Amino acid sequence: MITHTEIELLLYCSRSHVDPTTARRIEGLLRGDVDWELFTSLSLRHGVMPLVYRRLKDSFAAAVPPSRMSFFAARYKQNVARNIYLTGEMLRALDALKGEGVEPIPYKGPALACEAYGDPALRQFIDLDILVRPRDVWKASAALERQGFEPHFKLRGESERAAFLRLGYVQLFTRPSDRLAVELHWGVAPRFFNFPFRIERLWESDQRLTVAGRSVRAIAPEFLVLLLCVHGNKDLWARLEWVSAIDALLSRAPRPNLETMLAEAKAHGALRVLLLGLALAHGLFETPLPPVALKQLGDAPAVSRLAEQVRDQMFADDPKAPTLAEQVRFHTRSKDGLRDRAVYCARLALTSTPVDWAATGLPASLSFARPFVRPLRLMKKYLLSPVRRAS
């Protein structure tokens, strides 16, 4: 059973800054009865093991059982080795895309580790994410295929390619030789999520980031925090590290302009999504927020209830994958208004995907009928068989 001790210690060790008061709290917890097996499992599950190990090693190693420090050190070294490899592969993929005249932006993965924590070793990630403009998707896809990557969805003809570009937001590529996965994004969320962000805006600023000694394009902090909140909300904030990254970005100097962020979120129907991310960072990590953000949180009791729900699920004893109904309920509650909720539900039911196309077997000439088949596929998948994640 997860106790208050393990959760509190995990939160203190995962935050971006530890002041003297927090250090004393950590020391007090370490003097108590810590279930180290459970604590280790939590740190791995929530993707904060590197942060936890570094914090304990640098400041509290003498208070941790030597066997546990050895275990953390071994897992940390494994993560460092993998991250070095993935960082090199990311830079090679970026070079391949640039060779085709594409301007890619690395997203999450090692880029976020450097942006948030200043060190690519301090995140757990298993694949790479790259953003490109919609107009560059097929050039970028061809470049990745020449690097040995294979697309997950095999598209048939121009009509399917056009529909995939219009209705989708990401294509998964895997390389059989090392099973490396690259997600090529031309959007940040599924169409049904109803976040109408024009991704070309990310190229309007010449934000740069140094990764492994190389200068690469980066996302402006105000946009990055918003996009991370959308990502976390999409996946029901299942991992603590998503909140930790937001805490780190909001705590750095210079701090991102939260007023700009709030205005952008409101313009895109994602104000409640952003406020939930801010509420989680403030509640779990005591992330400092300016008065304008604190006031908006105080005026949004629905966000506070959602944050409480997320915290309960995040540290449940026996976490389970959410059902489709639970996902829909959470997403609709995090929408700004009734119209946004209605659009979300309608698009979830009717926006077809390559999974639907394959399931229907309809030829391209009957593609107009695909949206009408999707509800039937969803009913079969989620009502007539064991409930899993939404496609």
Contact 28, 5 (CB under 8 A): no
The rounded distance, in Å, linking the Cα atoms of 257 and 259 is 6
Q: What is the pLDDT along the chain (391 residues), one digit of tens a residue?
A: 456 899 999 999 999 889 999 999 999 999 999 999 999 999 999 999 999 999 999 999 999 999 999 999 999 999 999 999 999 999 999 999 999 999 999 999 999 999 999 999 999 999 999 999 999 999 999 999 999 999 998 887 888 888 889 889 999 999 999 999 999 999 999 988 999 999 999 999 889 999 999 999 999 999 999 999 999 999 999 999 999 999 999 998 788 999 999 999 999 999 999 999 999 999 999 999 999 999 999 999 999 999 999 999 999 888 888 998 999 999 999 999 999 999 999 888 887 777 666 655 555 555 555 555 666 565 555 555 444 443 3
What is the pTM (predicted TM-score) of this model? Answer: 0.90
User: How much is the pLDDT for 390?
Assistant: 37
Domains of the chain by residue range: 1-64, 91-219, 220-319, 338-391
Which SS3 state, helix, strand or coil, does residue 136 take?
helix
Beta bridge partner(s), residue 129: 107, 183
The rounded distance, in Å, linking the Cα atoms of 82 and 93 is 16
Residue 263 one-letter amino acid: A
The rounded distance, in Å, linking the Cα atoms of 52 and 160 is 46
Can you list the alpha helix ranges (DSSP code H) found in the chain?
A: 4-14, 20-31, 36-45, 49-55, 66-98, 109-117, 137-146, 157-167, 221-234, 240-251, 258-267, 271-285, 291-298, 301-314, 324-333, 338-350, 354-360, 370-382
The rounded distance, in Å, linking the Cα atoms of 34 and 44 is 16
The CATH fold of domain 91-219: Beta Polymerase; domain 2 (3.30.460)
User: How much is the pLDDT for 253?
Assistant: 77
User: How much is the pLDDT for 355?
Assistant: 64
What is the length of the chain? 391
For the packed helices 36-45 and 66-98, what is the interaxial angle rounded to 10 degrees?
10
Neighbours of 275 (CB within 10 A): 25
